[in-house]
Structures are given as structure tokens and as C-alpha cells.
Amino acid sequence: MKILAVNAGSSSLKVQLLEMPEEKLIAKAQVERIGLENAVVTVKYDFDENGKGKTWEIRDAVINGHPDAVKAVMDKFTEFNVIENVDDIKGVGHRIVQGGEYFSKTEIVTDYVSEKVLELAELAPHHNKAEHDGYVAFKQIVPNAVHTMVFDTAYHQSIPEERYIFPLPYKYYTQYKVRRYGAHGTSHKYIASVIKEYYGKDEYKLISCHLGSGASLCAIENGKSVDTSMGFTPLGGIMMGTRCGDLDPSILFYLMNKENLTPDQMNRICNYDSGLQGLSERSSDMRDIDKGEAEGEKLSFLARKVYVNRVAQFIDISHIT
């Protein structure tokens, strides 16, 4: 049985075609710079027993939106004979960042699920809408498959109330569901399952570190999330590639007054111009920070030290005793 695993970002699309239940990778594709100039489409297929396969790539594609990206991938999968008929694909799994308090597990997509994903886009403005666009595009091309949604926030629904509530007037939780949701739940849950298998027991405690351009840490006890660094949105928590993570909220008001910034402008600075990018004034990629350090750049050293310090701080205060 063939299934598709889909991860749609605001300007990217990642897809894997798998043979199940063997979990054999048949093909994978990535589309970058969706909606921007010179989009990049990469397809890998025909893998041997060592995991090496053929690669096809175009670096100046015109990809105006997720429907174009999905069509480009599926056309190449057909051209390279990794699928003969779209009806051979029996399931499509879509990664969704924000499931709010509505979803604590993977869900088969219904009108209700689809509507809630869009409703929750306010809490993940750079993710949910794009991920829903990916779902709609695949649903049109693979209409007879079972489509499911896997929510990054679902794993964190086990966090106790005293750890997910923010110290704001309680009415903001009851009226607007302002609380800690976390993210990267699928990654943290997988790490927990591997640790359980490795140690062969159900009772254990660990700190899971998902460190990338987007990053979060998770305190796990006996397989369940009991605390996480990310907050109301993926902006909160530790310092990341372009996100500032947690800071004194007064800083935002101060800078908005000083530079006459709108909320949207301040939000963009915190999400896209901060983190490693902002501190190093070089890059959001740690590999580039490495190069900066090798060249003696003071800000590259500073960016790494702050990043490491923020990770260590959360580990130190996490609820694992």
C-alpha cells in the first residue's frame, strides 16, 4: 500500500512516498521558494539497498502557490514511474502545526477538521494556512485516498494546567484560549518511543531537544509531555534561527514606541529578523555561524553562546526531577 507523507510550509513543500507497512521509501520531493522567484524543485527516486537514488532538480521553476508545487511533484512522480495511477495511493498524511485544544491525536480529515485548522491559523499564521493549502491541493489530485492530519500540538495536550496557563487574566484563556500549546510534538513523541524501546521500560524521564531553524525542548515523563519550551505560538521558547524566543514583553512595547512600529512590523522582526540571524548579523544557519567563528567574527561567537545558554536554561528549569 502506498501512502504520502506531506509537510507543507509557508514557502516550501516536502513529500515522501512510502510503501507500507514495510516503511520502504519509494521517492521523495522538496519544493522551495514557493511564490518567489526561481523556485527549486528536487525529486529523488529509484533508491538502492544502500538508500542511494537518482536525483532530478530544476532551480528556476515558476511555482506560484501550493497547487503548482503539488502538481509539479505529482507530475514528476508519474514521469519517473514511481506511481502508475494516483488511485494506487491509499493514504495521505498532512503535518499541521496548530491543533489547539480541539485535537489530541491524528484525525481523518472531515469538513469539521478542515474548518478548525483554518480557524487556528491565528495561532500559527505562518503554518496552518499553508499546510491547509497543501491538503486542498493534494485532495484535488488524490481524491480517493484517506487524508489524515497529524498535529504538532497534540502530543503536548498532556501538560498539566498549571504549566500551560500563562499568568494573565484568566478570561483570556476562557475567551480566546491563550495558553501554552508547544510544537514539534511528532518529533518529541518519536524520540520518546525510541528511548522506551532502547531501555525496554515504561517508566523513564528525559529531555528531548528538537534543534533546528525552528527549535523546542520537551520534558517527557513515562512517554508523556509534561512541559515544553514553545508557548502560545512557535515564536515562544528558546532562541531559534530567526525567532527571538522568550523575552521581556516590555521590550516589544519599548521598541514599537521608539521606532513607531506597527504590531505586524514588530511581529515580523521577532519571527524573521531575530534569533541567530539577528544576533550574528550573518545567518540563521549554524553552519554559517561556524564559518563566522572561524573567521573571528565576534557576533558569531555571541550568537552561539546565547543559543547554547538558552537551551541550557530550559533544561535546568524543566519539570524533570
CA 255 to chain centre: 28
**Mean pLDDT score of the chain:** 93
- pLDDT(319) > 80: no
Alpha helices in the chain (DSSP H): 66-79, 111-119, 128-141, 161-164, 171-176, 185-199, 249-259, 263-272, 275-280, 286-294, 298-317
**Residue 41 reports pLDDT greater than 60:** yes
108-145 pLDDT per residue, tens: 999 999 999 999 998 887 789 989 999 999 999 999 99
Whether the pTM exceeds 0.75: the reply is yes
Express each pLDDT in 265-298 by its tens digit: 999 999 999 999 999 999 998 989 999 999 999 9
Contacts for 175 with CB less than 8 Å, ≥ 6 apart: none
Q: Is the pLDDT of residue 307 over 80?
A: yes
Distance CA(106)–CA(99), nearest Å, equals: 10
Distance CA 160, CA 226 (A): 7
Model confidence at 33, pLDDT cuts 50, 70, 90, reads confident
pLDDT (tens digit per residue) in 169-221? 999 999 999 999 999 999 999 999 999 999 998 899 999 999 988 899 999 99
Per residue in 57-69, pLDDT tens? 999 899 998 899 9
Question: What grid cell was written down for 224?
Answer: 508523556
Residues comprising the chain, all counted: 321
Q: Are strands 216-221 and 205-210 parallel, antiparallel or unpaired?
A: antiparallel
Residues catalogued as catalytic = 152
pLDDT of residue 184: 93
**Predicted local distance difference test score (pLDDT) of residue 320:** 59
309 to each of 109, 131, 238, 302, 316, how far by Cα in Å?
Answer: 41, 32, 9, 10, 10
Per-residue pLDDT, 230: 94
- For 20-136, list the strands marked E by DSSP: 24-32, 39-45, 54-61, 89-96, 107-108
- What integer pLDDT is reported at residue 321 of this predicted model? 54
Given a contact cutoff of 8 angstroms between Cβ atoms, the answer to whether 217 and 311 are in contact is yes
